Structure 1
Amino acid sequence: MPIKILIVEDNMIIQMFLESTIKEIKNTVVLTANNGEEALAMMELDTPGLLLLDIGLSGKRNGIEIAELVNIKYDIPIVFITGNSDKCTLERAVKTRPRHIINKPIDENKLKFEIQGIIKDLSL
């Protein structure tokens, strides 16, 4: 059965890159949201199996705040994507227990490898 992966990224170019890269992985269905509020609304209707979440989201809440809410309400793995790797931000992000933190610029092969590993873990 395919795994639904929700990408939450406010940069459309990066969002399209992530979407096209992940669609190349077998048994995945990709959903996208431009901000945290849109992602939370989508999860109310259909909970994904994996969340790819930009830390530096624009909108009412950043990615870390969205991850905190997701951890309370849903039991799904989170992978952070960030261009912001300062110590304070990373410490806050790690407290939300993400599966991985992927730094921008994103290496396509590393991204595929990480996502395939998580999918394999979820299938066990």
Structure 2
Amino acid sequence: MSSLKILVAEDDPLHAARMEMLLTEIGYEMIGPADDEGTLLRLFKATLPDIVILDIQLKGGSDGVDIAARLSQVQKVPLIFATSYTDATTMKRAVAANPFAYLIKPVEKGALQAAIELALFKFGRPDVPSEAFTSWTEDLVIQDFFFVKAGDKLLKVSADDILWVEVAEDRYCDIVTADRRYHLRTSLSSLESKLNTQLFFRTHRTCIVNLRKVDSIDEGDFTISIDGRDVPLGKTFKASLLKRLKTLQ
């Protein structure tokens, strides 16, 4: 599990300090601030952040709209524009760049958290209209990472750290890692279609396991040992699981 890494491009020291304070309060890691395009691109390539918050007009005349296009050539990432200007010309140019969210400075904590959640939602669910998003009600799987809301902040859980996923009492899911359990706001069936099939395998109607974490299988008791704990193995899944595990050897 790790906190979200958020790269901030801001050339005003007061706004940069406020952004760092707010992100720290929420529980996110701030990278930067970058006050010019060169520093931003260097930090972006070095850290590969989860989100970029970009001042639409950096010092030296650097244009946030053009910078956003250059960032996307390195790696696609949720991008949030921040600006002190709300005039029609500025907003029109910002809209044309198609960012995932906007922030008006000075930034408020609630608006910042809402923009982060909206940006991740739009990035992870491009099939859903952005106007359909009103609050974080379903956790996401994006490129082998789970983004899970715990309290007021989002956590990033690597698929490699997951031992298994199981049905919870409320018919949603629990992600189980070596040291923690995370409650996931989605059903097991919905989640299964989004998982990397090279890594995860359904072993029971209530369970999906990380194949790389399987220690042993008790064919008599129909259980799978993972990290010293037993998870169920359904009879109808046994043959497929054994065959799948052979391909990993």
TM-score scaled to structure 2, two decimals?
Answer: 0.45
- The offset of 1:45, in angstroms, is 1.4
1:60-114, CA deviations, whole angstroms, 9 ceiling, x for partnerless residues? 5222221121122221011111012222222221222211111123222221232
Check the 8 A contact 2:9/2:53 in 1, yes or no: yes
Q: 1:81: which partner in 2?
A: 82
Check the 8 A contact 1:56/1:84 in 2, yes or no: no
Check the 8 A contact 1:5/1:31 in 2, yes or no: yes
Structure 1 regions of 5+ residues with no counterpart? none
Question: Aligned partner of 1:88: which letter?
Answer: T
Q: If each structure's strand is expressed as a fraction of its own residues, which one has the higher value?
A: 2
Question: What is the DSSP-based 3-state SS (H/G/I as helix, E as strand, rest coil) of the residue aligned with 1:59?
Answer: helix
Structure 2 regions of 5+ residues with no counterpart? 125-138, 141-249
Say if 2:64 is the partner of 1:94: no
Q: 1:69: which partner in 2?
A: 70
Of 105-114 and 16-25, more deviation after overlay is shown by: 105-114
Alignment of 1:1-124 (within 5 A): 1-26=2-27, 28-32=28-32, 33-118=34-119, 121=121, 124=140
1:19-66, CA deviations, whole angstroms, 9 ceiling, x for partnerless residues? 11011223x211111122101011121211100011121125222221
* Separation (CA, whole Å) in 2 of partners of 1:6 and 1:45: 11
CA-based RMSD of the aligned residues comes to 1.8
Question: What is the DSSP-based 3-state SS (H/G/I as helix, E as strand, rest coil) of the residue aligned with 2:31?
Answer: strand
Q: With a CA cutoff of 8 Å and minimum separation of 6, indicate the structure with the bigger relative contact order.
A: 1
Check the 8 A contact 1:21/1:108 in 2, yes or no: yes
Question: What is the DSSP-based 3-state SS (H/G/I as helix, E as strand, rest coil) of the residue aligned with 1:85?
Answer: coil
- The offset of 1:117, in angstroms, is 4.6
* Separation (CA, whole Å) in 2 of partners of 1:25 and 1:115: 11
Q: If each structure's helix is expressed as a fraction of its own residues, which one has the higher value?
A: 1
Q: Which has the larger radius of gyration?
A: 2
* Separation (CA, whole Å) in 1 of partners of 2:67 and 2:92: 16
